[in-house]
Amino acid sequence: MPNEDKLKAGHKKTEAGKRLSKLMINDYTRLHQKAKEGAFVVWIAIVVPAELFSGFENVVYGVPESHAAMSAGKGVGPLQCEKAEAMGYSMDLCSYARIDLGTAFDGGKDSPTFGLPKPHLLISDNNNCSLLVKWFDIYHRAWDVPHFILDIPFCYEQQTARDLNYISSQYRDLIRTIETLSGQKFNIDRVREALEHTKGALTNWKRFLKTAVSRPAGLTVFDSFVQMAPFLTSRGTKALAEHYRLLADETEENVAKGIFPVPNEKYRLLWDNIAPWHQLNKMSSRLASLNANLIAASYTYCMGSLEGEFDLYPYDGGDPLTYLARIQNFSICPHGLELRYQAMQRAIETLGIDGVIFASNRSCKVYSLMQMDMLKRVTERLGIPSVMIDVDHADIRKYSEESVFTRIEALLEVIDAKRGAQTPRKNSNPI
Amino acid sequence: MRITAVQIAPDITLKLCPFSTKLSVLNYLDRSPAGTDDDCRVNNRYNMKNINNDMKDNKAKGRKVIGCFPLYPPLELFHSLGLVPVTLWGLKDSIPTTGKSDRHLQPYTCSVARHLTEFLLSENGAALDGLFMYNACDTLRNLPEIINCGLADTGRSLPIFKIHIPMVPREQTESRAYLRARIKMLIDELEEAYQVTFSIEKFRQSVSLYREMRKLCKALETLVANGRMSYNEFSRIIRDGWFIPAEDQLLVLQKILQDRPLSKREHVPSAVQSRIVVSGILPPPLHMIQAFENAGLTFVGNDIASQNRALFYTPAMVDDPADYYVDFYNHHYPCTTLLYTADRRMAAIRELILSTRAQGVVFIGEKFCEFEYFEIPHLEKTLKDMGVPTLFLEVSIDDNEYSEAYVTRIETFAELIGSANQGGRYAE
């Protein structure tokens, strides 16, 4: 059994963590309050460019996926899933969807945020996940709420000008739709202003992630998992930009002071998939007890980057719709294998990754289905030991801690063996 | 039997060479159309072997065979360019295991994708000269590069042509120009890859051919509804049709309908006792269909993606293939995978039930097909409110064998429909 001191290491509540809680509480409180006061409410998929809503006087948005992740993190995932399953929704469906359906059709009961206020408009997209469209269709039918679908071509290679124009034309349709439904006028200058905040937020987000370069790393990936939440709920706000600035400052200061989340870091690992929301504390503590630190994740390093890239693609002050269309595919799921590999290779080389954990996620096929070939490629081309584990991002009933850690421990042994083969035995600890 | 040219429609005279492989037509026609279910089981396997031979035969003749991912590829376009399009679904019978696919895809991938991948990575795939796919679903959109990795392992490679079909309702977003551009680009790519030239005349001929073929498929469905053909046989004929040149399929269909002609009044299903409609991506496995038919249920219509959904609609001819496909996709029969058709789906199923006077609906859930799963609770509830009983059966990759559990559920469903029918509960 790992000793107690080591179990306490890993993901800890920092000052930034405390600020995050306040920010999230404010976001949800404000959402409910504004909705109650008559704001136009939209529900969006996570990669719908929320800066667009800043262009309206009184439009607020809820993000069902983000709410589902929070529900899973707070331990009510299975409860909400079971409600959806009782309504006939298959257990093989994405657990985010089941949590959301269970929450929404039970009036927000058992939700950490009392659910989301009912929408006037649903906006899905099919680049991150086509299933979002089917999921939102359920509310569209049940509540007779209009459903706007953003149709975004998948990227096997970098986005073409034709696709960019097609996407930005759909933003114009969306703006017209909201104007018509809400009776509010759209102001592009407000979006420009929001994008400046986004630029600030993402610049500091990348600065925060860069603290993983230090040895030991200045963060664990669990920090980045939880800290990405307000990017989904407060995108384009000054509060978010300020929060990420303080987060990056604090993390850099900790590195300077020699304060590290895993002080005896021996294994620097990369995570590929959505966070296992129900396991954040447990997994980070147990990894820390093994002197292993997950220091990066494809799920979080993609924020602010173009497809296949690792660095920030900042807003340049130009046409807001063009920038948003270009960055529309920032998340991993709309990327082909070659692009995913390119970005992961950059991450591995930049951060000095020792091993990769491919989390095969039953609830997210679109993220997971390339992983077997990615694993092969990373192992063979880059010589980085890798392992595949089975998870479900929000349904703990489909997760087995012991079988996962058996595989992770095997990965650490392979890393040791590789080091042993590369260096004399007496220098077996290179970190 | 020697066929060289056949008048298949008032405006089409079909020349078998070089398009026809003959082999597939003759193989089908030599078989007893009224085989037992055991015969069907044997023939299914035998037939897939022939299909593989057909593809190899095409290749040997210098014909380019393009394997199309499901669900609704632009078949007429490929055909008009002198290519032989084969749609790669319903491959289960030709693939005993998925060993090669399992090295690339997790076990929670649907059987359509796993069989498709296995097929392409096996020796069968060597008969193909290219692949075509579009954004049919999240799983299929991830496959091209995975397949390339698998092919590279065996020292092979295939050109893969990809297009994005807009998934938005036209009243929301003007996507026609985008689709037109993608179709034109596809034509350019195909012309370059295979050194062929697009001709609007040939395209018109291909459209006529496919229109006639789809019409005859619908006629065949009437035979099933009237109890003159088993649904198993129908499913096999339609499945085989995806793998043979359209000319050959047309001959097969014509011969069958010649042997079992439809009288005019048969176009309306006769009063069989228990009529059901089946819905799903693929038809149920043979043993399951057999259980339905043994229970006295007749398949009077289908909402199956590889059958009615794919065969329902052919646009009117226009002077531009891009316009043709704008129409084709915009007015396609509703399918869970065509995201913009969701609002039309329930109406289409209601119409199917009314036109066939079906008394029950069976949903065949393809394991891990989330597109289907998301809609089933809504459809079941709506149908229940209409007084139409439903049955949901899930089929997974290894459901090849007879299962007593299915039989019991099917028999209970048949009894439910039968008792409701006696009580006159369901309006005609």
pLDDT at B19: 39
The answer to whether B341 and B398 have CB atoms below 8 angstroms apart is no
| B159 vs A: CB within 8 A | no
B373 CA to centre of own chain = 19
B contacts of A138 (beta carbons < 8 Å): 374, 378
Question: How many whole angstroms separate alpha carbon A27 and alpha carbon B356?
Answer: 53
Chain B contacts of A149, Cβ < 8 Å?
167-169, 172-173, 339-340
Lowest mean pLDDT among A174-178, A325-329, B274-278, B423-427: B423-427
User: A365 and B168: CB-CB below 8 Å?
Assistant: no
In the prediction, which pLDDT does B268 show?
45
- What is the amino acid identity at position B257? L
Q: Which residues of B fall within a CB distance of 8 Å from A139? A: none
Phi, psi angles (nearest 5°) of residue B342: -55, -40
> Hey, what are B225's tokens?
């509804």
CB contact under 8 A, A92 and B377: no
Q: How many CB atoms lie within 10 A of CB B236?
A: 23
> How many percent of chain A have pLDDT more than 70?
95
pLDDT category at A399 given cuts 50, 70, 90 is very high
Query: CATH 3.40.50.11900 spans which residues of chain B?
Result: 269-422
Residues of B in contact with A154 (CB under 8 A): 135, 141, 164
List, for residues A360-385, the tens digit of each pLDDT value: 999 999 999 999 999 999 999 999 99
- Which amino acid is it at B124? N
Tell me yes or no: is domain B269-422 CATH 3.40.50.2020: no
With CA atoms as reference, the chain A residue closest to B335 would be A134
Q: Which CATH class is domain B5-202?
A: alpha beta
Contacts of B150 in chain A (CB under 8 A): 373
Interface contact flag, A135 B374, Cβ < 8 Å? yes
Of A37-51, A337-351, B56-70, the least confident: B56-70
The interface residues of chain B toward chain A in range 33-92, judged by CB-CB distance below 8 A, are none
The pLDDT score that the predictor gives to residue A4 is 45
Range of weakest confidence among A209-218, A226-235, A296-305, B235-244: B235-244
- Per-residue pLDDT tens, chain B, 428 aa: give them: 333 454 544 554 544 433 344 444 444 444 434 444 444 433 443 355 566 777 777 777 788 999 999 999 999 999 999 999 999 988 887 788 899 999 999 999 999 999 999 999 998 888 899 999 999 999 999 999 999 999 999 899 999 999 999 999 988 999 999 999 999 999 999 999 999 999 999 999 999 999 999 999 999 999 999 889 999 999 999 998 999 899 999 999 999 999 888 765 554 444 557 999 999 999 999 889 999 999 999 999 999 999 999 999 999 988 999 999 999 999 999 999 999 999 999 999 999 999 999 999 999 999 999 999 999 999 999 999 999 999 999 988 776 666 788 899 999 999 999 876 654 444 43
Query: Which of A130, A166, A369 is facing B105, going by the closest CB pair?
Result: A369
- Rounded to whole angstroms, how far apart are CA atoms A225 and A157? 27
Domains of chain A plus CATH, in order, are 16-186 (3.40.50.11890), 190-424 (3.40.50.11900)
Query: Which of A56-60, A189-193, B189-193, B405-409 is least confident?
Result: B405-409
Q: Which of A126, A151, A337 shows the shortest C-beta gap to B175?
A: A151
What pLDDT sits at residue A257? 96
| Residue B397 confidence (pLDDT) | 74
Residues B142, A366: contact at Cβ < 8 Å?
A: yes
Q: List, by residue range, all CATH 3.40.50.11890 domains of chain B.
A: 5-202
Q: Is B380 on the interface with A (CB under 8 A)?
A: yes
Exposure string over A124-163, b if 16+ CB within 10 A, otherwise e? bbbbbbbbbbbbbbbbbbeeebebbbbbbbbbbeebeeeb
What ipTM was reported for this prediction? 0.92
DSSP secondary structure of B115-153: HHHHHHHSGGGGG-SEEEEE-S-HHHHHHHHHHHHHHHH
Query: Using the beta-carbon criterion (under 8 Å), do B146 and A368 form an inter-chain contact?
Result: no
pLDDT of residue B57: 75
* Residue predicted with more confidence, A24 or B63: A24
Question: Out of A145-149, A333-337, B12-16, B373-377, which region has the weakest mean confidence (pLDDT)?
Answer: B12-16
Reduce the DSSP state of residue A294 to 3 states and report it. strand
Best mutation site among B374, B376, B390, B393 for testing chain A: the one with the most A CBs within 10 Å? Answer: B374
**Å between A93 CA and nearest CA of chain B:** 6
| B164 closest CB neighbour out of A138, A153, A373 | A153
Condensed to tens digits (0 to 9), the pLDDT of residues A106-133 reads: 999 999 999 999 999 999 999 999 999 9
How confident is the model over A292-323, as pLDDT tens digits?
Answer: 999 999 999 999 999 999 999 999 999 999 99
Contact A130 B137 (CB under 8 A): yes
**Number of Cβ pairs < 8 A linking chain A and chain B:** 135
